[in-house]
Structure 1
Amino acid sequence: MTRPPGKERFRLEGTSGRARAAVLSLARGEIRTPCFMPVGTLGTVKSLTPGELREAGVEVLLGNAYHLYLRPGTRVLTELGGLHRFMGWDGPILTDSGGFQVFSLARINEIDDEGVTFRSHLDGSLHRLTPELSMDIQAAIGADIRMAFDECPPGEASREAVRTAVERSLAWLERCQARHETHSGRDGRGGLLFPIVQGASFGDLRLESIERTLAMGDWPGIGIGGLSVGEEKEVTHRVLDAIEPSLPRDRPRYLMGVGYPDDLVEAVRRGVDMFDCVAPTRNGRNGTAFTAQGRFNIKGARFATDPAPLDETCDCACCARYSRAYLRHLFVSGELLGLRLLSLHNVRFLIRLTSLARAAILRGEYNRWADDWLATYRRGIPRAGIQEEGEDAEC
């Protein structure tokens, strides 16, 4: 396999412990890491325009191959010049492979070594998704970074099931690479392909997955899948601690489906560079705000006459212009502006959080900064097992 240019596009600028600050240079722009990628499932980050995302500091978006395949479909995307032109976003786009959604959303699915047969969650229609089709979908989307099609077992899966998922994901990766080269060439000029390592919470399977994945090619980046799927946070931390020494230092590391503030800070501490999650916008639509003092739901009666902004440390348009009292009024009145403003705030909060983390890394004091930040943030989080109304527990 010829070495793709993606490796040379990743420039490490500083480290602090295992935390890293870097720049990933792509044709459509630079991505400064650590970075958070808002999720644009159907070609839109729900309720927010591309212009608003740019103003919030977003550098890269995530698109969803499964959802875009079902609607509007690859024919529409191809005819209209790909997702960038279709949605009016000129920056980089990363697409997931569709595998996680097939396993989690499809009404019925049957997995075999060739692919997955599933029924659409929209209308029950029957579809067949293979590694080759996943690459075709992501090529039609025109993604700058494309993820390999993998099998993601649930957090409670047995060792036998996880072993099967590791083997199948490796076999599918070889097929993804072959198909990807027909679209992008062996040098990856039309988009970079990231493999995904699996293994759930089994450290030896994780390490084997990494070793065998790296033996298959000089990949431009590595996806870490199968975490944040129901396991305890301590398990996630343990897995990241175990695999970090085996991950290439000169490639970006992408932890899939993680986006709550404290989880992000802890993962950066363990050497992760890139993140995505629906958490900021999903929680925002339900009235839950991320703040430096923890999460809270703005619909609470205690905010009815509160003149303060959501977060006095935040520089977003929501915090600059509106009070907690007004935002509560919007939510209890069913006004759409409320969910838009909280979604915008939560996205900006995570973008700013990654910028603060990057600055601390470049100063060489990440662990101290992270400990101080987490101590303040966790004091404000509702006690374990107690959720405020409307708050989402997981991504």
Structure 2
Amino acid sequence: MRTLGVEEEFLIVDPRNGGLLPLAGEVLGLHDLGRGAENPPRYPMLAAELQQEQLEVITGPHSSLSGLAAEIRAGRSYAESLARSVGARISALGTSPLPVAPRHTRNDRYDALVEKFALTAREQLTCGYHVHVYVGSDEEGVAVLDRIRSWLPLLIALSSNSPFWNGTDSGYASFRTQAWNRWSTAGPTDVFGSADAYYSLVERLADTGVVTSPDFDARLSARHPTVEIRVSDVCLDVRDAALIAALVRALVETAAREWEAGKPPDMVPAAILRQAAWRASRFGIEGSLLHPVAHKLDTARNVVTAIYDHVRDALDETGDATYVMEGLQRILTQGTGATRQRRSYERNGSLADVVTHATGVTHEETSNPHSGAERVLRSVVIPSRRPGVAALSR
């Protein structure tokens, strides 16, 4: 069974008014003190990001989805406890609903980034969700990248959690995707065909003097034997985070099997995939999407059904099929994080209340009986009954 791990980025928020606080250094200082203790735990790990108003929480590798879900919750709880110590909280929001002038983290890497990319870097305050899945070699990894491209826009739609930007409704379900795509190498890639071709492109990009590490939607990790899928917003709901991770692992496993069987990748141009990503970013699951096989407009429900059908065998083998089927049905019925943010705003027109509500959901503090920690873990370990695709079509 392939191992998987995730990186979640969070905003550091003021519990009094929902504004953002540039306190990453203080939070990480407390984290470093704890790591200095005798026999400190290796995970969860905390790391700095480009802006001081955000924080990254990193899990270890897991074989079981239940283990990953438990550590996602533990990581959120741990980061929250440190944030509370400095008068703040952490919130799983893809972008800030309230206006903010970010302060970048001061070190050689980020100073150079801000100098080179100017306003793009200064305004870049977005929180994503990265999923790492083990691959046996670079060749397998690139074969996977070539075969999952068409499915990645749907992950944007399912995870969409950034409708507000600097005090206004952007009109997008995932405006984080739009802001992120201002980076020079962000977005989908064409088919590589081999690891040599992948590394040749990375080297040629470095020779331009613009980037040293490309921000592709999916790439080979530079530090781990994994592929890294980077298209998703940070998920408001822990259950959605586990769902996205399960889908990514199943996509990787399915793609690897297609490669081993000699099935060629879909040669759809990256320009078409960029349109698919745009529609997913704009509408989430509340509008038509490009079907990942036909590349024609289709309903969100049909596209969601297509991904479930595509990876069902892999999900069955990991025991995640029932959890994924129920999670997809829940999102189709109840909406994404973007939907929940907008509903919160509609109650009284307060963006500060959007942040407060989102912070509660981040830590499962809402009154929703289906958002409790026990529910998350019970759902993950339900034995698979090989649910049919028809269950998503009701």
TM norm. shorter chain > 0.5: no
- More strand as a share of residues: 1
